[in-house]
Chain A
Amino acid sequence: MDRRNKRILQTTLIIVVVLGIIVSLYLYAGQRAFVSTIFSGLTLGSLFFLVAAGLTLIFGLMDVLNFAHGSMFMLGAYIGWQFYTNPTFIFGVAPLALAFGTGVMFISVLKPYLIAWNLTPRMQKLLPTIAYILAAVVIVFAVLGFDILGLANTAMVAMTTTTVGNPLAEISPQEPLAEFWIRPVLMMLGGLLIAFGSSKPGDKTQYAPKENLGKAMLLPAILLVVTVVSIFIRESAPVSVLLMNGNIRFLLSILVSVAFGFVFGAVIEIILIRPLYARPTFIILMTLGLSYVIRELVQFLWDPLTYQMARPPLFAMPGKAASIGEWLQNGNSTIDILGATVPTYRLFIIALGIVMFALVTLLMTKTRLGMIIRAGVQDPEMVEAMGINVKSVFTLVFALGVALATLGGIGAAPFLPVQPLMGDAYQTQGLITVVIGGMGSYVGAFVGAMILGMARAFGDYFALKLSLSPAIAEASTVIIMVIVLLTRPQGLFGSKE
């Protein structure tokens, strides 16, 4: 009973302190400044949450600290920006990526037959090596002479030639189909060779039943159809996307960005992280290196420049709306809330953060996958021993985490300058959020993100008002982290273990 009283006392104390801070800030800043600062805090908090949620889930379940999360956030912004501004690049590259993916996915069909081969141990080692080398050669031939920079340029050109809201860019002519078709075919061959190699022909210690082959065929078959379609629409699709209503196009960019993040995350987990689970320090170095690779790749494709993505029409009309109804009707760029002028796009980001928090909560508490994740945070071995394929759950969670980061990226793209370093600040803040909230706790990530967002927003406010250095806002988040670490080392919502 004593412990319970102590807890009640603690909770009351915290509530009183928080209310006291809020009231004194309100009295000090006045209503208008207070409201607008609160909204910028919520905006930042939502973005921090989208980065931190993935980080904390991935860390909680697999003890992997992903230092490339900020770069994935940035990549999400670039993909979304490309799709929104001029999707020629995305539709131009898609056939190659899809063809390669289709080839690799055929592993589930090939494997049961390949491992049944009778091979000498020497051949078992030799065959995969030969397959990988052949795959590399084939892929080089597939992309030889492919004008990827020309494709990447299309969106950069579109930036300078089009008006806000409906940028119908000139479509640069692409290779005719008669020359292009060989590329996806070679890419698929490369993918098949990699599938051949990584299914380890002749390795009898592996287990791959032939019974559910029909089910295994499904995914590669669908991908094959999508690939073929993508080959034929690569020139016409960008035009029809650009002719769409800007709001729908923005919604599609979000979907494309999230889908890209999911697939990209799954690929990274399978190829780069899975072989390193036994060596956790290597994973940290690897993700750190990956973040540089992603950044350099982006600079190679789109130059180290800063782009400003146009806001979708719903948030683009200059002028202030008096009410939410007026905003939704006219698409004003700002809205009047309690006397303060708040950019409408911020409301969208805040809504995005809150909706995602609700969805993550639902996923974790109501679904079987959530149950598996919560159990796996404690003891992944036991989860596996109960008959659950933990490796594929790891892949799924990593993919979901990266998808959340890319969602944050595209969400932020119309609001932040799109440039290769835009993710770095979010990487740092995301890590601080995870530490404050407690490793592995998504509720902690949300609360931590909101605390940090508020600290940044009010830090900026005070810096401006009292003529202090703007660094005070950044420092405030680190100070909060230090205080939390000193008083509650496991984080606000972390479990003691």
Chain B
Amino acid sequence: MSEVNHDDLLNVDNIHTFIGQFHILEGVSVRVKKGSITVMLGRNGAGKTTTLKSIIGLTPPREGKIIFDGMEIQGKRPYNIANLGIGYVPEHRAIFRQLSVLENLKLAERKKGDFERSSEFIFKLFPDLKRLYKLPGNHLSGGQQQMLAVARALVPENKLLLIDEPSEGLAPILIQQMMEAIETLSHTTTILLVEQNFIMASQLAKQYVIIDDGKSVSSGSIKDLVLQPEVIHRYLGASIKTRKELEMEHGSEE
């Protein structure tokens, strides 16, 4: 605790997390500076999602410390952690499919009136949701579900958003819209983002952390990372979308 940096909103310090018998995280450290986007990079199965789940408390770490806003939060129940002001957007668009769009948003309220306060902002960011607000979640398209999942985290006042792969499985045009939305959010909130799409991540984020095989192996400013192709190649290799792949995606859209 001696090296507390007051710019850090979140300081994940060398956590070890087990799922059942499996030692998934073997020493992950992540620092998230207040007021910016930090991106977590790494191959599939490296432990990025588990890191987010450890922060929010769904898979509590056995060792290590997590300090949020000057308070140790490891070992607390997820709802306590969330109520400190952390919004979690899980992967695979985990919205509540039996609930309507409006109910999904209402459920996210922590105080009465949260939704009234934030609805204008949310519907400006995602105009689609206003049009669809009576529909049940399972009638939404993949992109709309992802927007709802993000919007849900915006209902209460959060100091930090944990967003897990918001672009996964979206059409390129929607990815663009999602990235613009996250850009807008970053003006008011601190964001820890998991993103496979390196090009996009490098446009959005200021800081990065690379997770590989359950360990955080590299971190710093994203500008420096762009200058280190050998690091990118070594840890992200297959997961970076090359220009060719991107072109192919655009091609398939036509």
Q: Is B106 a contact partner of A371 (Cβ separation < 8 A)?
A: yes
Stretch at the interface among B25-33, B96-104, B172-180, B227-235: B96-104
A207 to B74, CA, bound (A): 10
A384 to B79, CA, bound (A): 5
Contact of B99 among A371, A391, A495 (CB under 8 A): A371
Q: Is A207 a contact partner of B76 (Cβ separation < 8 A)?
A: yes
In the complex, the chain B residue whose C-beta lies closest to that of A383 is B107
A375 to B96, CA, bound (A): 6
Residues in B neighbouring A368, C-beta threshold 8 A: 106-107
Which B residues from 115 to 132 make CB contacts under 8 A with A?
Answer: none
Residues in A neighbouring B57, C-beta threshold 8 A: 385
Q: Is B90 a contact partner of A382 (Cβ separation < 8 A)?
A: yes
Q: Is B107 a contact partner of A386 (Cβ separation < 8 A)?
A: yes
Q: Is A386 a contact partner of B152 (Cβ separation < 8 A)?
A: yes
B83 CB–A CB distance under 8 Å: yes
Which A residues from 196 to 217 make CB contacts under 8 A with B?
Answer: 205-207
* A493 → B minimal CB distance (Å): 12
Q: Number of B residues whose C-beta is below 8 Å from A? A: 26
Prevailing SS type, chain A contact patch: helix
Contact of A385 among B82, B96, B99 (CB under 8 A): B82
A164 CB–B CB distance under 8 Å: no
A185 CB–B CB distance under 8 Å: no
Whether A385 contacts B78 in the complex (CB less than 8 A), given A371-B99, A374-B98, comes out as: yes
* B15 → A minimal CB distance (Å): 14
Contact of A378 among B56, B90, B98, B110 (CB under 8 A): B98
A372 CB–B CB distance under 8 Å: yes
* B104 → A minimal CB distance (Å): 8
A381 CB–B CB distance under 8 Å: yes
The bracket for how many chain A residues form the interface is 20 to 34
Q: Is A371 a contact partner of B103 (Cβ separation < 8 A)?
A: yes
A371 to B115, CA, bound (A): 15
* A372 → B minimal CB distance (Å): 7
Q: Is B96 a contact partner of A381 (Cβ separation < 8 A)?
A: no
A387 CB–B CB distance under 8 Å: yes
A38 CB–B CB distance under 8 Å: no
Q: Is B97 a contact partner of A378 (Cβ separation < 8 A)?
A: yes
A377 CB–B CB distance under 8 Å: yes
Residues in A neighbouring B103, C-beta threshold 8 A: 371
In the complex, the chain A residue whose C-beta lies closest to that of B158 is A387
Residues in A neighbouring B75, C-beta threshold 8 A: 205-207
* B127 → A minimal CB distance (Å): 24
Contact of A377 among B58, B98, B104 (CB under 8 A): B98
Which A residues from 368 to 418 make CB contacts under 8 A with B?
Answer: 368, 371-372, 374-375, 377-379, 381-391
Residues of chain B touching chain A, judged by Cβ–Cβ distance below 8 Å, are: 56-58, 75-80, 82-83, 88, 90, 94, 96-99, 103-104, 106-108, 110, 152, 156
Residues of chain A touching chain B, judged by Cβ–Cβ distance below 8 Å, are: 205-207, 368, 371-372, 374-375, 377-379, 381-391, 495
- 27 A-B pairs whose Cβ atoms sit less than 8 Å apart in the complex: A207-B80, A368-B107, A371-B99, A371-B103, A371-B106, A371-B107, A372-B107, A374-B98, A375-B104, A378-B96, A378-B97, A382-B90, A384-B58, A384-B78, A384-B79, A384-B82, A385-B79, A385-B82, A386-B82, A386-B88, A386-B108, A387-B79, A387-B110, A388-B79, A388-B107, A389-B79, A495-B98
